[in-house]
Structure 1
Amino acid sequence: MKIKFNWRLMLLPFINLAAILCLLPFLPEQIPMHFNYQWEIDGYGSKLSFILMPLLLIGLGLLFQLLPHIDPLGKNYARFQKRVDHSFIALSLFMIGTELIMILAAASIDFIKPDILFQGLFGLLFMFLGNIFPKIKHNYFMGIKTPWTISNEDNWTMTHRFGGKLWFLGGFLAILFIVLPKELRTIALVIDLIVITLAPMIYSYIYFRKTRGYENA
């Protein structure tokens, strides 16, 4: 099968790389690359290593376009290819926003706190993903992966409907949590992430038991 790349989809990652290369001479030698749970900088990298982020985004863009050709259920991608493209654009904007947070921290510009910026980006990303989850068809790479969703298309559909609502709500709550004190905000965000990760998996199992059960149960 001939692989056709959507080069328009790669425009944003390449613009991101060009922008980082243009900014490179003006950046400090050390860029904040990691924050602890209190959003204090606890890890730095050279500004040359900062180029790895847009390169990683380009690599992800190429991978996203290979998925229909390497997935055993690749024929299903024709039913939701636009959702795949939109997911990559959303992920690109999230990663570019994360790069901006690091640049602002490197320049000691803190009129908007990095934790607030990141939590806002996190919330928007999960609201977006929650909105498209019900529209993602059965496949092996994208979506909520459990043994029960992968093995049964009905389970896949119902779990993604449930998970989509939960992820949208979880993203919305993540944005609301911004008003909390920093310590409570971090705890609330971690709990939020755990719930929206585990609850769809539990739902998938319960749906499996309800509709099929075990042969020897």
Structure 2
Amino acid sequence: MRTKRAVALCGAFVAAMFGASVLVGPRLPETMVTHWNAVDQPDGAMPKFWGQFFVPLLALGVVALVLLSPRIDPKRENIEAFRPLYNEFVVLLTAFLAGVHGVVLAVNLGYDVPISSVVFAGVGLVVFYTGRVLANAEQNWVVGIRTPWTLSDEQVWERTHDVGAALFKLSGVLAFLGAFSPRYGAALAVGPVLLSSLALVAYSYYLYEERDGTDGPTA
């Protein structure tokens, strides 16, 4: 996906979020429920203004950050090698935030929405697509498994990302399955991603130390 198209789509999603908030604003309660537990019971609320506009503002900031960050990356030419996938990920992430915002508005308008199922399905798709991006990411400072060891050695970067792509795709599938078992959805959405991230940090260090030992002087 070209960057201009990604910007246009993200802009459309963000504009739709703000527009929906304004359109239904008069029908929203003065205190909006904005957080639910694993069994869809409300456990957090915000004043109406922030309930209406927090997620749209968050989406606007995230889109601006992830679309502009490659421009200041010293290795930005490497990002261009997989920029179409990166742009698609940004659009998917924005669509996910728009979906979350739509759920918040719908529930506060009195509609019966399976909140956990929608959110965990969306998380699964985002995490799975992260795996796709990792599989194609060239060494850079913006996106990927950026540890001191992957950024110091291209082969460590490549091998870590090969494993990382598989782990994140698997984590995405598990998170998606959480949509069908909301009680365990949070564990399936967060646990595999957290464990995968920690394992990849350790794995990148192991690969770097292994190469360092191989390249060193031999007796």
Name the CA distance, whole Å, in 2 between partners of 1:14 and 1:125: 21
* Structure 1 unmatched runs, 5+: none
Cα distance, 1:43–1:164 mapped onto 2, change above 3 Å: same
* Structure 2 unmatched runs, 5+: none
Structure 2 counterparts to residues 1-217 of structure 1, below 5 A: 6=4, 7-9=7-9, 10-36=11-37, 38-49=39-50, 50-110=52-112, 112-180=113-181, 182=183, 184-213=184-213
How does the TM-score come out when normalised to structure 1? 0.84
Q: Which amino acid aligns with 1:66?
A: L
Instruction: Report the CA distance between 1:181 and its aligned residue.
Output: 6.7
Name the CA distance, whole Å, in 1 between partners of 2:62 and 2:189: 26
Give the conservation status (yes or no) of the 8 Å contact 1:14–1:58. Answer: no
Give the conservation status (yes or no) of the 8 Å contact 1:38–1:186. Answer: no
The CA deviation string for residues 95-145 of structure 1, in whole angstroms up to 9 with x for no partner, is 1111122223323433x4211211111111111111221112111121112
Query: Once structures 1 and 2 are overlaid, which stretch shifts more, 158-167 or 190-199?
Result: 190-199
Q: Which amino acid aligns with 1:24?
A: G
Aligned length: 210
The CA deviation string for residues 19-40 of structure 1, in whole angstroms up to 9 with x for no partner, is 3222222222222222345543
Instruction: Report the CA distance between 1:180 and its aligned residue.
Output: 3.8
How does the TM-score come out when normalised to structure 2? 0.84
Secondary structure in structure 1 of the residue aligned to 2:150: helix
Cα distance, 1:96–1:152 mapped onto 2, change above 3 Å: same
Instruction: Report the CA distance between 1:166 and its aligned residue.
Output: 0.8
Name the CA distance, whole Å, in 1 between partners of 2:12 and 2:213: 47
